[in-house]
Amino acid sequence: MTGSKKRVYIKTFGCQMNVYDSAQMVNLLGEEGYDEVSTAENADLVVLNTCHIREKAAEKVYSDLGRLRQLKEARADKGEAMQIAVAGCVAQAEGAEMQRRAPVVDFVVGPQSYQRLPHMLSGKSDPLATDFAVDEKFEHLAKKRAANGPTAFVTVQEGCDKFCSFCVVPYTRGAEHSRSAEEIIAEVRALVRHGVREVTLLGQNVNAWAAQGPGGEADWGLGELITHLAQIEELARIRYTTSHPRDMDERLIAAHRDIDALMPYLHLPVQAGSDAVLKAMNRGHTMDTYYRLIDTIRAARSDIALSGDFIVGFPGETDADFEATLQAIRNVGYASAYSFKYSRRPGTPGAKRDDQVPEAVKVERLTILQDLLLSQQVAFNEAQIGKTLPVLFDKKGRHEGQICGRSPYLQSVYVQGSASLIGSITDVNITGAGRNALTGNLVQEALAQA
CB 16 within 8 A of CB 202: yes
CA 317 to chain centre: 28
> Residue 349 has what DSSP assignment?
G
State the SS3 of 310-348.
EEECCCCCCHHHHHHHHHHHHHHCCCEEEEEECCCCCCC
Structural domains of the chain sorted by starting position, each given as residue range(s) with its CATH number in brackets: 6-133 (3.40.50.12160), 136-382 (3.80.30.20), 388-449 (2.40.50.140)
The residue among 328, 296, 295, 294 whose CA lies nearest residue 311 is 328
Per the CB < 8 A criterion, the answer to whether 70 and 110 are in contact is no
- In sequence order, which ranges of 142-249 are alpha helices (DSSP H)? 169-172, 181-193, 222-229
Q: Give the pLDDT score at 406.
A: 98
pLDDT by residue for the chain (450 residues), tens only, comes to 344 689 999 999 877 888 888 888 888 898 889 999 999 998 999 999 988 766 666 778 888 999 999 999 999 998 899 999 998 888 887 878 888 888 899 999 888 788 888 888 888 778 887 676 666 667 766 555 667 899 999 999 988 999 999 988 888 888 899 999 999 999 999 999 999 999 999 999 999 999 999 877 779 999 999 999 999 999 999 999 999 999 999 999 999 999 999 999 999 999 999 999 999 999 999 999 999 999 999 999 999 999 999 999 999 999 999 999 999 999 999 999 999 999 988 789 999 999 999 999 999 999 999 999 999 999 999 999 999 999 999 999 999 999 999 999 999 999 999 999 999 999 999 999 999 999 999 997 555 555
Output the pLDDT for position 111: 82
Determine the Cα–Cα distance for residues 337 and 352; give it in Å rounded to an integer. Answer: 28
Distance CA(217)–CA(230), nearest Å, equals 18
Provide the pLDDT for residue 1: 39
